[in-house]
Chains A and B, each alone.
Chain A
Amino acid sequence: MSDPLAGLYQELILEHAKRREGEGALEPFDGERFLRNPTCGDEIRLRVRLDGDAIDALGWEGQGCSISQASASVLAELAPGLTIADVRSRIEALRELLRSRGAVEPDEAVLGDAVAFAGVARFPMRVKCAMLAWVALEEALTELGR
């Protein structure tokens, strides 16, 4: 039987959903954001610690579907060590990819493991799940004035 879900639930996503990289309450931290997706109840509390103009570390706690949890894990793996400007442009790149309905080709150099979310673009109802942690980081940085 062919699997119509394979494009959505790539191995990498299922693996991250279990690994949950960066899960836990980060201490100390500079910024924090709690976000909830009211349609499905996904929620995340994300903390970020900065080191000058760069992301030093991310920590998150949350619950939700495998897409939202994997996405937080991928972000926690990708972001530390990157500059704030770089992270912001990668968040924008994921947003563009997810909203493209499949028209945009993902760039692994920019998105890392987040290229696995390319399939989500064909499931518009799930885009918010995949963006949740990334939007939380974006808003945490904005609140910090960064």
Chain B
Amino acid sequence: MTIGTQPALTEERIQQLRGDFPILAEQPVGVPLVYLDSGATSQQPRQVLEAEWAFRTRHNAAVHRGAHTLASLATDDYESARDRVARFVGARPTEISWAMNATDALNTVALSLAEANRAADVDPALALREGDEILVTEAEHHANLLPWQRLADETGARLRWVEVDDDGVWTADAALALITERTRVVAVAHVSNVTGLIAPLEPIVAAAHAVGALVVLDACQSVPHRRVDLGALGVDAAAFSGHKMLGPGGIGVLYLAERLGAALPPARVGGSMITTVTMTEREFLPAPQRFEAGTQPVSAIVGLAAAVDYLEGVGMAAIEAHEVALGERLAAGAVAIEGVRLVGPPPGVERAGLASVVVDGVHAHDVGQVLDAAGIAARVGHHCAQPLHRRLGVAATTRASTYLHTTEAEVDRFLDVLSTVRGYFGAGRA
């Protein structure tokens, strides 16, 4: 069975892939590890670790400077990584800048817009004035909320948001109703890290561009798990993190569509991003170097490119199909347990390969403790989305998130243990 030219993720194939992840053999609590926290941070296959090791032991040197051969080898690795990451997301290499992580990348966009607005002759395409609007959703991760909150405070623009329903779901219609002539920026998560909702991007991008607004995409939960073509989507900026896509920590990606990358001033200035500097003046390189002040974490970048190679080798279509099936299994299994409330789209409606739940009468931290004792690593808390949780009427939820190495048996184990939680705490017994 194949999807395209790549094999689908059969049980046999998954077991083979699991062999690439050394940590999956660890037993931190003395029983087999069931890792269901890839949405927070993913694990790294040997291939990624080996690529970093190879770079550090054979090619390590400062990139884009120095005339020695080692520097040239390091620069080749560095720019080859950019090419591969760009191709992976349907971008040109010049549209890919390195960041620390997605939070950093989103901050760069907002800070650069603030910088643009400080100029006397602000580019009209980037201008934010009193009466202008920045649109987000109530479900955003704090990383895609706080930079816009602050930008609104600084520029006098008004922050507006698409409200979610009792399940944490929002619709294209609700978003479109808020996109007006005043809208200058629309910042939205491609896939929600809490609800698993997949954003209806196509009409939003069309409506935003029709009024001249920029679309900024938080792609943290989409790029690692499904084929994403940023060029075809037509967004103006996007951000994602290496550590959520089998890569190392400390490296993220900022995508700036060519037109925006050319117009946006840098938020950070210093080495490696200039053409000419005098004691009073400075002239910047074009994108992507303009947004890469200082030395970048080159071995992590090499590791990220190896992660991209690994994902492409497995096949993004196969990964997506596998995880969407697991997401449905989680959702359907959760609603079948008495006293468990599922957040996000109901079973039968497409969701990403994750599910967050509320156990009636039991705090998420206690749920997480019971899961942990069974070897299950799941995330509990507000998942950096406090406004969403406030709207859902809970302080915290418990989230299981999958990846290409997650098996149906692991999802079933999570559901089994979840079904014992209320009994353990005597919830529902008074």
* Interface of A toward B, CB cutoff 8 Å: 3-5, 8-9, 14, 17-18, 39-43, 63-67, 123, 126, 129
With A4-B29, A14-B426, A64-B363 already in contact, the answer to whether A126 and B369 are too (CB < 8 A) is: yes
Task: Find out whether the CB atom of A8 lies under 8 angstroms from the CB atom of B396.
Answer: no
Q: How far is the CA of A41 from the CA of B380 in the complex (A)?
A: 10
Residue B283, interface by CB 8 Å:
no
Residue B146, interface by CB 8 Å:
no
Q: Report B213 CB to chain A, min CB distance, Å.
A: 33
Q: How far is the CA of A66 from the CA of B389 in the complex (A)?
A: 19
Residues of B contacting A63 in the complex (Cβ-Cβ under 8 angstroms): 363, 395
Mark B100-113 against chain A: 1 for CB-CB distance below 8 A, else 0. 00000000000000
Residues of B contacting A17 in the complex (Cβ-Cβ under 8 angstroms): 425
Residues of A contacting B395 in the complex (Cβ-Cβ under 8 angstroms): 40-43, 63-64
Residue B381, interface by CB 8 Å:
yes
Task: Find out whether the CB atom of A14 lies under 8 angstroms from the CB atom of B380.
Answer: no
Q: How far is the CA of A63 from the CA of B29 in the complex (A)?
A: 28
Q: How far is the CA of A66 from the CA of B369 in the complex (A)?
A: 11
Task: Find out whether the CB atom of A66 lies under 8 angstroms from the CB atom of B425.
Answer: yes
Task: Find out whether the CB atom of B381 lies under 8 angstroms from the CB atom of A65.
Answer: no
Task: Find out whether the CB atom of B373 lies under 8 angstroms from the CB atom of A5.
Answer: yes
Residues of B contacting A3 in the complex (Cβ-Cβ under 8 angstroms): 373
Q: How far is the CA of A18 from the CA of B361 in the complex (A)?
A: 10
Q: Report A82 CB to chain B, min CB distance, Å.
A: 29
Residue B366, interface by CB 8 Å:
yes
User: A9, A39, A126: which contacts B381 (Cβ < 8 A)?
Assistant: A39
Most chain B beta-carbon neighbours within 10 Å: one of A9, A40, A63, A64: A40
Task: Find out whether the CB atom of A40 lies under 8 angstroms from the CB atom of B381.
Answer: yes
User: A4, A5, A40, A43: which contacts B364 (Cβ < 8 A)?
Assistant: A40
Task: Find out whether the CB atom of B365 lies under 8 angstroms from the CB atom of A40.
Answer: yes
Task: Find out whether the CB atom of B426 lies under 8 angstroms from the CB atom of A65.
Answer: no
Task: Find out whether the CB atom of B365 lies under 8 angstroms from the CB atom of A123.
Answer: no
Mark B385-420 against chain A: 1 for CB-CB distance below 8 A, else 0. 000010000011000000000000000000000000
* Interface of B toward A, CB cutoff 8 Å: 29-30, 362-366, 369-370, 373, 380-382, 389, 395-396, 424-426
Q: Report B66 CB to chain A, min CB distance, Å.
A: 44
12 pairs from A and B in contact (CB 8 Å cutoff): A3-B373, A5-B370, A8-B369, A17-B425, A40-B381, A41-B381, A41-B389, A64-B363, A64-B395, A66-B366, A66-B425, A67-B365
User: A4, A5, A42, A43: which contacts B365 (Cβ < 8 A)?
Assistant: A42
Total residue contacts A-B, CB cutoff 8 A: 53
Most chain A beta-carbon neighbours within 10 Å: one of B382, B389, B395: B395
Task: Find out whether the CB atom of A41 lies under 8 angstroms from the CB atom of B382.
Answer: yes
Residues of B contacting A8 in the complex (Cβ-Cβ under 8 angstroms): 369
Q: Report B390 CB to chain A, min CB distance, Å.
A: 10
Q: Report B184 CB to chain A, min CB distance, Å.
A: 32
With A4-B373, A14-B425, A18-B426 already in contact, the answer to whether A41 and B396 are too (CB < 8 A) is: yes
- Knowing that A14-B425, A17-B425 touch, tell me 17 more A-B residue pairs with CB under 8 angstroms: A3-B373, A4-B29, A5-B370, A5-B373, A8-B369, A9-B366, A18-B426, A40-B380, A40-B381, A40-B395, A40-B396, A41-B382, A42-B395, A66-B363, A67-B365, A123-B369, A129-B365
Task: Find out whether the CB atom of B365 lies under 8 angstroms from the CB atom of A64.
Answer: yes
Q: How far is the CA of A66 from the CA of B331 in the complex (A)?
A: 26
Q: How far is the CA of A58 from the CA of B261 in the complex (A)?
A: 59
Q: Report B394 CB to chain A, min CB distance, Å.
A: 9
Q: Report A64 CB to chain B, min CB distance, Å.
A: 6
Q: How far is the CA of A34 from the CA of B380 in the complex (A)?
A: 23
Residues of B contacting A67 in the complex (Cβ-Cβ under 8 angstroms): 365-366
With A14-B425, A41-B396 already in contact, the answer to whether A65 and B29 are too (CB < 8 A) is: no
Q: How far is the CA of A39 from the CA of B363 in the complex (A)?
A: 13
Please provide the 6 A-B residue pairs with the shortest distance between their CB atoms, ordered closest to farther.
A41-B395, A65-B365, A65-B363, A4-B373, A40-B365, A5-B373
Q: How far is the CA of A75 from the CA of B29 in the complex (A)?
A: 31
Q: How far is the CA of A22 from the CA of B424 in the complex (A)?
A: 24
Q: Report A6 CB to chain B, min CB distance, Å.
A: 10
Closest chain A residue to B382, Cβ basis: A41
Q: How far is the CA of A24 from the CA of B205 in the complex (A)?
A: 50
Q: Report A60 CB to chain B, min CB distance, Å.
A: 16
Residues of B contacting A123 in the complex (Cβ-Cβ under 8 angstroms): 369
Q: How far is the CA of A126 from the CA of B366 in the complex (A)?
A: 10
Closest chain B residue to A6, Cβ basis: B373
Q: How far is the CA of A17 from the CA of B426 in the complex (A)?
A: 11
Residues of A contacting B396 in the complex (Cβ-Cβ under 8 angstroms): 40-41
Q: Report A10 CB to chain B, min CB distance, Å.
A: 13
Q: Report A126 CB to chain B, min CB distance, Å.
A: 7
Q: Report B37 CB to chain A, min CB distance, Å.
A: 14
Q: How far is the CA of A8 from the CA of B426 in the complex (A)?
A: 16
Q: Report B381 CB to chain A, min CB distance, Å.
A: 6
Q: How far is the CA of A67 from the CA of B425 in the complex (A)?
A: 12
Q: How far is the CA of A41 from the CA of B358 in the complex (A)?
A: 14
